[in-house]
Chain A
């Protein structure tokens, strides 16, 4: 794999993770438990879609085959998507959504902080902007995690179950492959293993406040960033891509 290819793939992973999570959060619009949460989740969704636009546009320019952000978002199939499998997991109940969000927020806090010193200046600028958004996302998700975990016996039991269910997708966060290694060697991305101690400490601190138990480490069967996804991604893409695929070039 050439270095430019690796960088395009790396940007697609970052951009796809934001895009897919933004789409998931957008599914809450009109369905959140309160009007204020509806707006809050929509605001999160728009932050992620904004990140995706910057990252996918950049990936498309580097790729040099004429694909813009829309072509990359709407005209690729599931196996071409490189998002983390965690991001595509269904919304479930509100607690499932909060746990998924919190796991990604704690991860992106480490990732974007590291990427903000990337040797790729454009990526560093995107990361610095995204880091500010992520600090708020984490404030939101960790607050809800504590409220649900330290709430009623039912909310505690349900959010603990959400955590047990989603924990198996966290192995992918720190499992580097050739693309990650190439980016780390070029100073473009961080060594993934190096992010884990700070992430783990933050996870433990938040779980303690929420009176939740950290699940046991689980083997990691998902390779979302290599295009191996759970069955949920295809359904998400079918809805997200339906309009641009059925009416190519549609504008309003």
Chain B
């Protein structure tokens, strides 16, 4: 039965005010069941106050083979970090 069920990604908000974070994935026949499975698998120790489940098939992921093209060009652009700049003493309240 399990092999026929689609995969869902699970996100948990651990406390009010925090963001939902990805915690793992599971199989379920439908979204309602996915919420129940997520509750039973991932929140048994009071890990969260809110759940999201997303069909894994609905996620578009970047291609690992493209990682170089996508992410390496940012490597030498250290000026994008605020710590790159020296702040003159005269500048207050920045």
Contact = CB atoms under 8 A, between A and B. Distances in A.
Interface of A: 33-37, 39-40, 43, 136, 139-140, 143, 147
Closest 3 A/B residue pairs (Cβ): A36-B37, A34-B2, A40-B40
Contacts of B41: 36, 39
Contacts of A35: 2
Interface residues of B, number: 16
Interface of B: 1-2, 5, 26-30, 32-33, 36-37, 39-41, 44
A36 B32 contact: no
Given A43-B44, A143-B32, 20 more contacts: A33-B2, A34-B1, A36-B2, A36-B26, A36-B37, A36-B40, A36-B41, A39-B37, A39-B41, A39-B44, A40-B36, A40-B37, A40-B40, A43-B40, A136-B39, A139-B36, A140-B36, A143-B36, A147-B29, A147-B30
B27 A36 contact: yes
B48 to A, nearest CB: 15
Contacts of B29: 147
Nearest to A136: B39
A147 B29 CA distance: 9
Contacts of B32: 143
Given A36-B41, A39-B40, A43-B44, A147 B33 contact: yes
Given A39-B41, A43-B44, A147-B30, A34 B36 contact: no
B18 to A, nearest CB: 23
Nearest to B33: A143
A140 B28 CA distance: 13
21 contacts: A33-B1, A34-B1, A34-B2, A34-B27, A36-B2, A36-B26, A36-B27, A36-B28, A36-B40, A36-B41, A39-B37, A39-B40, A39-B44, A40-B36, A40-B37, A43-B40, A43-B44, A139-B36, A143-B32, A147-B29, A147-B33
Nearest to B26: A36
Contact of A34 (B5, B30, B39, B44): B5
A143 B28 CA distance: 12
A200 B27 CA distance: 34
Nearest to A94: B1
Contacts of B44: 39, 43
